[in-house]
Structure 1
Amino acid sequence: MSAITDIPVPGTPPGAASRRISIQRWRQRSRLIHGLRVVLPTFIAVIIVGLAGAVAYNAITSHRTPPKDSSAPIRLVNPHFVGRDSKGKPFLLTSITATRDPQNYQRVFLDRPTLTLDTDGPDPTHITSGAGIYHEDTGKLEVSKGVRMSGARGAFDTDSSLFDTKTQELVGTVDIQGLGINGQIQAKSYGVYDNGARMVFTGDIRSRLQPK
């Protein structure tokens, strides 16, 4: 009786395991590449649609935006207007804000203006008010809403005045009252000349002399 010998079982060929790993990796890369081929075109299409929508929106909104009005008023903050009168004396006009009239560039609306006359002299005169209109072409200043003139010859209050920066004449046809070098005075109209050196009051004048 013949002896039974062991039959050898075929083993795994050399390199088969590494080939299987390589095949698995290749399949994974293939699936990734296939997925990217599907996703990337879709993503690019979404970007293109978004850009097109943004361009269309900007085009529509730009047409809806009203054009900037070239005639809009010019507003200045803390403006300074300087000049000299007919005798060469300097004056300075300031205000909180100033707005140029869009219909007349030479007319300026002032908020709480302050006019200082003879700024280089020993006794400058100050005129303040709540509002004013300065005409740059004529040099005339309309002041209103609590006008006060103060200087070396006293202080006076009125509702409105018209001042000429060239002649330095201040006139008004409304009530005025104040305290001058000779005492208190009230009148219906007035005129101030020569930088306050000469004052003329008319209409229902009432005065109270101040004894020296």
Structure 2
Amino acid sequence: MSTSATPGLELLQPTMHGRWEPRRALTLSAARRRTAFVRLLRFIFLTAIAAIIALLAVQLFLGAAGGAPAPSEAVSTDVRMVNPRITGRDEHLTPYALTADVAVRRRDDSSGLTELERPRLDYDFLNTGTNASEVLAQTGTFDPATRILDLFSDVNLNTDNGYSFSSQHARIFLREERVSGESPVTGSGPVGTISADRYEIHEGGNRVIFEGNVHARIVQDRTAPSDGEDQ
């Protein structure tokens, strides 16, 4: 009895072995590549989520730490007061009252000056009458530390003994009952008129100094006694 295989089986066996083994190897390789690709996509996705969360956390932290004061500072940079009133006394205990239409204090100004609009000063620095002196100007600055008041633009100073001075600048030292001005001044009073480039008022008005191109006109009392009166 012959042991040779059936011709049909001899042709079928090599063909079956040669076709299925390579396909299996290709299928495993593709699966591995696909698994690696999925892992890579998962890693990229998780990394993107972590980056977004970190960015949001940083923005929230910065907003809570530094974002809140900025709008408050922008809104309230300056301190503004309507119809302010400042009162005090000089070194001789003479009272004064400083008022204005508006007072503004700049927070970014380290000098501490207060800007004034249409300031007024009621100050009985002559201390001789019942009506206090009054100084008016368009603008001014007040230093509370030194008690120095600077007045600018259309400065008018009227004293209680009948004298009136007009200038573009007046610096009033409230502690010393002293006034000085570096702008031209014109004045009038019971004895006449005067003009000069500079002026100073000392000792509460008892001594007035004019400097630079001084021009004065003295008005004399020409009233003569009537007949029958003693000479």
Same fold, TM-score > 0.5, yes or no: yes
The match for 1:77 is 82
Deviations 1:54-102 (Å, cap 9, x if unpaired)?
xxxxx9xx99985210761100000000010000000000000000121
Structure 1: where are the runs of 5+ without partners?
1-58
Structure 1 segments of 4 or more deviating over 6 A? Answer: 62-65
Instruction: Report whether the alignment pairs 1:94 with 2:99.
Output: yes
Instruction: Report whether the alignment pairs 1:114 with 2:120.
Output: yes
Q: Which residue identity does 2:133 align to in structure 1? A: T
The match for 2:179 is 170
Per the TM alignment, residue 200 of structure 1 is displaced from its structure 2 partner at its CA by 1.1
Instruction: Report whether the alignment pairs 1:156 with 2:165.
Output: yes
Per the TM alignment, residue 106 of structure 1 is displaced from its structure 2 partner at its CA by 2.6
Instruction: Report whether the alignment pairs 1:194 with 2:203.
Output: yes
Structure 2: where are the runs of 5+ without partners?
1-59, 222-231
Structure with more strand by fraction: 1
Q: Which residue identity does 1:69 align to in structure 2? A: E
Mean Cα deviation higher: 95-104 or 194-203: 194-203
Per the TM alignment, residue 202 of structure 1 is displaced from its structure 2 partner at its CA by 1.2
Query: Percent sequence identity over matched residues?
Result: 24
Mean Cα deviation higher: 87-96 or 180-189: 180-189
The match for 1:203 is 212
Structure with more helix by fraction: 2
Asked if 2 retains the 8 angstrom alpha-carbon contact of 1:153 and 1:197, the reply is no
The match for 1:145 is 153
Give the SS at the match of 2:205.
Answer: coil
| Superposition CA RMSD, Å | 2.4
Instruction: Return the alpha-carbon distance in structure 2 between the equivalents of residues 115 and 101 of structure 1.
Output: 22
Count of paired positions: 152
Instruction: Return the alpha-carbon distance in structure 1 between the equivalents of residues 106 and 194 of structure 2.
Output: 37
Give the SS at the match of 1:67.
Answer: helix
Mean Cα deviation higher: 134-143 or 193-202: 193-202
Give the SS at the match of 2:176.
Answer: coil
Task: With the length of structure 2 as denominator, give the TM-score of the two structures.
Answer: 0.60
Query: Of the two, which has the highest radius of gyration?
Result: 2
